[in-house]
Amino acid sequence: MKTIFSIIILAVFTLSLSAQTYEPIKKFDPNRNPKLDLKTAVDYAKSVNKRIILDVGGEWCIWCHRIDAFMDSTKEVKDYIEKHYVVLKINFSKENKNEKFLSKYPEIQGYPHFFVLDKDGKLLHSQNTGDLEKAKGYDKDKFLQFLKKWTAKK
């Protein structure tokens, strides 16, 4: 009986530990399964009470690289995203448009594009990232305003 209890405790601990870790996808990969990736992101988002940003784009997209560089190099934006969001890259390219997966979301006019989801994966907002641009990059204030508007209430 004591052994069964120990096994159950170990299993619960292992599951809760795995739900607390999340390895973000760093590149748009046409070979990834976005449905499975979203399930993993939702499981993690639920465990840490964060919203999800689906970052839709491709390695072919210069603005996708610019937004990645901006989010990574702008400390205030990077810190805010890490604290409040789970970011999931969804590939859109000639190799794989992920049409079936993306058909559940509003039409995208340009790339990159963000969809903000709640921690359960429900769509909250479709964001044209062009609205966040400034010159050949992105505007920190506009970006933070967008992020703060859609942050989950704690």
DSSP β-ladder status, 51-57 and 113-117: antiparallel
Domain borders along the chain are 24-149
Among residues 34, 60, 21, 19, the alpha carbon closest in space to that of 115 is found at 34
Residues 131 and 27: their CA atoms lie apart, in Å, by: 23
pLDDT at 11: 46
Q: What is the pLDDT of residue 18?
A: 47
Asked if 73 contacts 141 with a C-beta cutoff of 8 angstroms, the reply is no
Tokens in use for 52?
């999800």
- DSSP string across 75-134: HHHHHHHHHHEEEEEEE-SSS---HHHHTTSPPP-SSSEEEEE-TTS-EEEEEEGGGGEE
Pairing mode, strands 123-128 and 133-134: unpaired
Domain 24-149 in CATH 2.120.10.30: no
- pLDDT for 84 equals 98
If you ran DSSP here, which 8-state letter would residue 27 be given?
Answer: S
- Give the pLDDT confidence score for residue 145 in this predicted structure: 98
Q: List the chain pLDDT tens, one digit each, 154 residues.
A: 555 554 445 444 445 544 467 898 999 999 999 999 999 999 999 999 999 999 999 999 999 999 999 999 999 999 999 999 999 999 999 999 999 999 999 999 999 999 999 999 999 999 999 999 999 999 999 999 999 999 988 7
Give me 109's structure tokens: 């006019």
